[in-house]
Amino acid sequence: MIHFLGIIGTLTALVSFLYQPSELATHLIISGIIFSAVTWFIAFFKRRATFCPLCKGTPLINSGALTHSKSIHIFPFNHGTTATLSIIATQRFRCMYCGSDFDLLKPPSRFLVGGKCNDGMS
């Protein structure tokens, strides 16, 4: 999410520079590009370490494998970026490899016994 905010900030500084060129806007563009590059590098490894609970694929990075027919993507983005944006916006995603829909806010069913949380902690 921080990476996408950095991209939005860089684009805002670029529009500001095009509207009214200044030294401050130039510094903001350069620092935004550097910030976005660093956060992309960190986000790449974080996305790569995320696995689908069902098929154990990496649904946030496109590996070039064949996608499931139920998987979706928003036109200018690939399946991995669409899943990332979906998680940021709705806390849900659909795995591009197995087509399963996951809700990150829903507690896992293995912890629910008789409507109560059974996590072994209480």
Instruction: Give the residue among 86, 82, 93 at the shortest CA–CA distance from 52.
Output: 93
Question: In DSSP terms, which residues pair with 101 in a beta bridge?
Answer: 94
pLDDT at 67: 73
What tens-digit pLDDT sequence spans the chain (122 residues)? 788 888 888 898 889 888 888 888 888 888 888 998 998 888 888 887 877 777 777 777 777 666 777 777 778 777 777 877 877 888 777 777 777 777 776 776 665 555 555 555 54
Six token digits for residue 41: 């590098």
Cα angle 40-46-49, degrees, rounded to a multiple of 5: 140
Give me the amino acid identity at 48: R
pLDDT at 113: 54
Element (H, E) at 9: helix 2-19
pLDDT at 38: 92
pLDDT at 111: 57
The region that residue 26 occupies, defined by phi over 0 for left and psi between -120 and 50 for alpha, beta otherwise, is: alpha
Return all residues near 19 (Cβ < 8 A) that are at least 6 apart.
Answer: none
CB 24 within 8 A of CB 14: no
pLDDT at 25: 84
Q: Which pTM does this prediction carry?
A: 0.60
